[in-house]
């Protein structure tokens, strides 16, 4: 059994190779990054030499799959036509650029239906994905499990399953499970990980579970809040994460920390989680 694949969200400001080097410095063997400014706007052109340097570094150091993150402002199911149009263009552009890093993941928040109702929201998300996903693309697109704050779509496994069912090229879709979000959404991920995974398997299918966001939560289960806390310092607690990094159904997935930390804090959390995973190996 190999070591877990774990990292955190990193800044793209110094380029791709720099993210790989930062990951190594903090003990990570994967990472997440925004494909463009999280507040929206245009994307920087990729420097092919910089991308090549990252791919070489990843191969040399046995990195797992990266989990790129779409901007938060991208809303495929907005009530405003221009916002939907921008979201589709942004996603299409991001996926085109992700082809320079083939075989990795692109994670996005399904969207907020802004009082149009979850049904209409899901319809719009499927329309967007049907327009944007290209057969043969080498990036799998991950729907993130959401806390159900406001009018967020993706607050239940059922909603994610409906998006997958309504998308033509759905072999290109997977799910990124965020531990804070699913707890805030009401699932007992801290007390009964196996029960939650059984439910996921029944509704979506575990073959779709591709990546994890590891975050503790500032709020109790079912609060629909989405406030991340450091690992072990929130309502989920350390035992919840011990379960995630050792469970045979989750321990081999890429795990991304989005906890309130600086790089030194991430380095400590990565070491902590590697330690918890290693305790039961052998
Ligand atoms: Zn996210």
Q: Are 281 and 3 in contact (CB under 8 A)?
A: no
106 is an active site residue: no
3-state percent helix, strand, coil for the chain, nearest multiple of 5: 40, 15, 45
The tens digit of pLDDT for each residue in 139-168 reads: 999 999 999 999 999 999 999 999 999 999
187 is an active site residue: no
39 is an active site residue: yes
Q: pTM here?
A: 0.96
Radius of gyration of the chain (CA): 18
pLDDT, the chain, mean: 96
Q: Residue 106 gets which letter from DSSP? A: E
Predicted pLDDT at 2: 66
Q: How far apart are CA 64 and CA 222, in angstroms?
A: 32
Q: Are 226 and 258 in contact (CB under 8 A)?
A: no
Residues 6+ apart with CB under 8 A from 255: 4, 5, 6, 7, 30, 211, 212, 213, 214, 244, 245, 273
At how many degrees (to 10) do helices 16-25 and 48-60 cross? Answer: 30
228 is an active site residue: yes
- In this prediction, residue 38 has a pLDDT band, given cuts at 50, 70 and 90, of confident
The CATH superfamily label for domain 6-281 reads Divalent-metal-dependent TIM barrel enzymes (3.20.20.150)
Q: Is 73 exposed, middle or buried (0-12, 13-18, 19+ CB in 10 A)?
A: middle
The tens digit of pLDDT for each residue in 75-129 reads: 999 999 999 999 999 999 999 999 999 999 999 999 999 999 999 999 999 999 9
Q: Are 100 and 53 in contact (CB under 8 A)?
A: no
Question: Which residue among the candidates 113, 213, 230, 242 is catalytic per the annotation?
Answer: 213
């Amino acid at each position: 059994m190999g070591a877990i694949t774990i990292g955190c969200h990193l800044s793209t400001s110094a380029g791709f190779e720099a993210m790989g080097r930062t990951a190594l410095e903090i003990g990570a063997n994967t990472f997440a990054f925004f494909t463009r400014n999280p507040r929206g706007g245009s994307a920087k052109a990729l420097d092919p030499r910089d991308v090549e340097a990252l791919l070489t570094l990843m191969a040399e150091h046995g990195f797992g799959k990266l989990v790129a993150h779409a901007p938060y402002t991208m809303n495929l199911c907005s009530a405003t036509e221009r916002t939907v149009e921008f979201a589709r263009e942004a996603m299409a552009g991001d996926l085109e650029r992700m082809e320079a890093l083939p075989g990795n993941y692109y994670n996005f928040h399904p969207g907020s239906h802004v009082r149009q109702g979850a049904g209409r929201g899901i319809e719009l998300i499927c329309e967007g994905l049907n327009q944007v996903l290209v057969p043969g693309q080498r990036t799998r697109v991950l729907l993130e499990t959401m806390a159900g704050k406001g009018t967020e779509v993706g607050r239940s496994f059922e909603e994610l399953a409906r998006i997958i069912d309504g998308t033509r090229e759905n072999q290109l879709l997977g799910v990124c499970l965020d531990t804070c979000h699913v707890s805030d959404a009401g699932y007992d991920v801290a007390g009964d990980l196996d029960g939650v995974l059984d439910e996921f398997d029944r509704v979506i299918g575990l073959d779709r579970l591709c990546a994890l966001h590891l975050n503790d939560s500032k709020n109790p289960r079912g609060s629909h809040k989405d406030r991340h806390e450091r690992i072990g310092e929130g309502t989920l607690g350390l035992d919840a994460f011990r379960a995630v990094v050792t469970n045979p159904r989750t321990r081999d997935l890429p795990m991304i920390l989005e906890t309130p930390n600086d790089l030194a804090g991430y380095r400590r959390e990565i070491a902590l989680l590697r330690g918890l995973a290693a305790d039961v190996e052998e």
